[in-house]
Amino acid sequence: MKVSIKVNGTLYEREVEPRMLLVHFLREELGLTGTNVGCDTSQCGACNVHLNGQLVKSCTCLAVQADGGEVTTIEGLKSNGHLHPMQEAFWEKHGLQCGFCTPGMIMTSVALLQSNPHPTDEEIRHGLEGNLCRCTGYQNIVAAVKAAAGTK
């Protein structure tokens, strides 16, 4: 089936099998490998992207479901050669170690601040419930989100 999906501002048209998952479309068809496949069972959030402005798990969405839609991945966050403030904050606060969960964490954190610009610690932790990190213990991730939100 032919799909047209705008990814990070560029429209792509591809012929895909209906069973192709959005995450494979991004990684294998478009070469956008920043979005990771982690658990592949809708739990870990490593594959989180924005679809039509909403946070979604791209391992639990078919490419054909996203047909006609707009996707933002981690590669699409930077603007004019500058990292997104959330990326800067993760860097600054050392909100990562191995980095595998980081793209999903950042996409979730950006969506969180869009709906709640000044979250409390508890709201950040609840907001990140669907993203698993096996390195950091989350402490520095929460600190990064707080820093990006400009809260103390």
28 binding other proteins? (CB under 8 A) = no
Closest listed residue to residue 49, CA positions, set 8, 9, 94: 8
Q: Of 5, 30, 61, 89, which lies in the binding site for other proteins, with binding defined by CB under 8 A?
A: 61
Yes or no: say if 57 and 69 are a contact pair by the CB < 8 Å rule: no
33 binding other proteins? (CB under 8 A) = no
Binding pattern for the stretch 111-150 against other proteins, x by CB under 8 A and - elsewhere: xx--------------x-xxx-------------------
Residues contacting 138, CB < 8 A, separation 6+:
125, 128
CA 11 – CA 142 distance, rounded (Å): 34
- Angle, CA 53 vertex, CA 138 and CA 43 arms, to 5°: 40
Shortest distance (Å) from residue 70 CB to other proteins: 15
98 binding other proteins? (CB under 8 A) = no
19 binding other proteins? (CB under 8 A) = yes
Closest listed residue to residue 102, CA positions, set 38, 146, 21, 20: 38
Q: Which is nearer to other proteins, 18 or 82 (CB)?
A: 18
Stretches 5-13, 70-78, 86-94, 105-113: which one binds other proteins (CB under 8 A)? 105-113
Residue 84: Cβ within 10 Å count? 17
Question: Which residues make up the interface to other proteins (CB under 8 A)?
Answer: 1, 17-21, 24, 40-43, 45, 48, 54-57, 60-62, 64-65, 108, 111-112, 127, 129-131
